[in-house]
Structure 1
Amino acid sequence: MAKSFADFRYMTFDVVGTLIDFEGGLVGCLEEIAREAGVSFDGEEALALYRAARYMPDAGHFPDDLARVYGVIAPQLGLPSGAAHGQRLRDSVKDWRPFPDSADALARLARRYKLIAMTNAQRWAFAHFSRALGDPFYAGFTVDDTGTEKPDPAFFEHVFAFVEKDGGSRDEILHVAQSQYHDIGISRRLGLTNCWIQRRHAQPGYGGTIEPERFTEPDFHFISMAGLADAAGTKPAA
């Protein structure tokens, strides 16, 4: 039998791509560099090249790795080379913005649930993201904390251990994310109830996120965080 929202005490969240518009931030910075250089630019092409470069064997931790990624994709996009541009892309992360509905939805949900961030980003980047979202999290786990990235089950195990120390269990967690590859598939295999926020519902393909080997049908499915907050019965602030 499917669970109801009343069955959960915790909601765990992917951050980059679910709450923070990473595609918009990434493309926006590259587009700005292209405009300054007088080069034509295609955002979807850039995302496809980013995706391939981000998962090379020598990839580092995100978002420091964006400096390396720029060096890989710039020649393919006709963008100017140089370490300064790579650093500019990495530093642009500080200004990446939440999706328009993210902060309000999280504030609503935080009145009823303990919200836990689970991000493959480094701690310094998460600090900027959390601040932009209104610092709604009860706890936050980054690649720096876990030493690994989703979809590694070990990342989730760190969170399970925290929840157990807090007096809860994984049965009381709803895992919320946009990435089928990093979150929805593995959360199903680990026995979590999950919620897919389909941010690219109006666009084809997987954009900057790696495509999963197979699609996982989620327990809950919304195209926005606002849809989740509404379904959970959390009312907007008066």
Structure 2
Amino acid sequence: MKLSDFKALTFDVYGTLIDWESGMVAGLKPLTDKVSQPLTRDKILEAHAYYESTTQRWTPAQKYSELLPVVYRRLAEEWGVEVTWEECQAYGFSVRQWPAFDDSRSALAYLKQHYKLVVLTNTDNLSFQGSNARLGVHFDGIYTAEDIGSYKPADRNFDYMLETLARQGIQKGDILHTAESMFHDHVPANKHGLANCWIYRRHSKEGFGATMNPGDLPSYDFRFNSMSDLVATHKAELEE
């Protein structure tokens, strides 16, 4: 199997192209600065992962920018901090400010020459619009949790993507699902029979950070530590 075997790359965005962990930690700083107990970066991210995934499971149709304020409030309650709803809402609006990884923009510009680029994201349309501006590429398909009414790893999100792409002549075998999160993306990619590429942004860190532990690790067809590594491998294939 080679990267050049595929016609479309379907991306998770947050954690893969957008450095959501840095964005989260920065956005939560007004809250974590008030916490008396010591909190490591990973403890913050792991707590966030729990409340985010739990809230997504309970209210799957809620927009991400409206769901994050609930996460903020749950974290404040766990850490014994008083917050206003306005503070919670400010965190929900912060997604548009989360930074892109340094290599994302240039990698996408290169890959756009060789593939259709598609987004399957757990965010809402307005939040993603801000992130898309940071990525600087026109995606051929943008499928948000707001569009679908549920959050990954739900089957519904992948069924929607596959059905929509099939109408455009892109079949399952044409797709390489490209993502960082084992929990949100690679477990369901395995379940749906999709070829998958793990962008292991956390390769130098322990644990799963801002995503839930997936349990038994799913299989993957490719693994790169960055988007630039993926691009380098694709270029090497073409040279051969």
Same fold (TM over 0.5): yes
Q: 1: CA distance between counterparts of 2:161 and 2:32?
A: 40
Are 1:153 and 2:155 an aligned pair? yes
Aligned position for 1:196: 198
Whichever residue aligns with residue 23 of structure 2, its letter is G
Q: 1: CA distance between counterparts of 2:120 and 2:44?
A: 26
Q: How does 1:1-238 map to 2 (within 5 A)?
A: 3-35=1-33, 37=34, 41-56=39-54, 58-59=58-59, 60-233=62-235
Q: 2: CA distance between counterparts of 1:179 and 1:38?
A: 28
Give 3-state SS (helix, strand or coil) of 1:55's partner.
Answer: helix
Whichever residue aligns with residue 123 of structure 2, its letter is A
1:163-189 CA-to-partner distances (Å, cap 9, x unmatched) read: 222222110111000111111121122
Q: 2: CA distance between counterparts of 1:114 and 1:80?
A: 46
CA deviation after TM superposition for structure 1 residue 53, in Å: 1.5
Give 3-state SS (helix, strand or coil) of 1:118's partner.
Answer: strand
Q: Which shifted more, 161-170 or 197-206?
A: 161-170
Q: Which shifted more, 113-122 or 133-142?
A: 133-142
Kindly indicate whether the alpha-carbon contact (under 8 Å) linking 1:174 and 1:192 is maintained by their aligned counterparts in 2: yes
Q: 2: CA distance between counterparts of 1:69 and 1:148?
A: 17
1:122-152 CA-to-partner distances (Å, cap 9, x unmatched) read: 1111111111110331111001222222222
CA deviation after TM superposition for structure 1 residue 76, in Å: 3.2
Kindly indicate whether the alpha-carbon contact (under 8 Å) linking 1:46 and 1:77 is maintained by their aligned counterparts in 2: no
Q: 1: CA distance between counterparts of 2:151 and 2:170?
A: 23
Q: 1: CA distance between counterparts of 2:43 and 2:35?
A: 17
Q: 2: CA distance between counterparts of 1:21 and 1:198?
A: 12
Identity of aligned residues (%): 32
Kindly indicate whether the alpha-carbon contact (under 8 Å) linking 2:96 and 2:129 is maintained by their aligned counterparts in 1: no
Q: More helix by proportion, 1 or 2?
A: 2
Kindly indicate whether the alpha-carbon contact (under 8 Å) linking 2:93 and 2:127 is maintained by their aligned counterparts in 1: no
CA deviation after TM superposition for structure 1 residue 33, in Å: 4.4
Give the 3 Å change call, closer, same or farther, for CA 38–207 of structure 1 in structure 2: closer
Give 3-state SS (helix, strand or coil) of 2:118's partner.
Answer: strand
TM-score normalised by structure 1 residue count: 0.90
Give the 3 Å change call, closer, same or farther, for CA 55–168 of structure 1 in structure 2: closer
Give the 3 Å change call, closer, same or farther, for CA 227–136 of structure 1 in structure 2: farther
Kindly indicate whether the alpha-carbon contact (under 8 Å) linking 2:46 and 2:212 is maintained by their aligned counterparts in 1: no
Whichever residue aligns with residue 15 of structure 2, its letter is G
CA deviation after TM superposition for structure 1 residue 17, in Å: 1.1
Q: 2: CA distance between counterparts of 1:73 and 1:38?
A: 10
Kindly indicate whether the alpha-carbon contact (under 8 Å) linking 1:106 and 1:136 is maintained by their aligned counterparts in 2: no
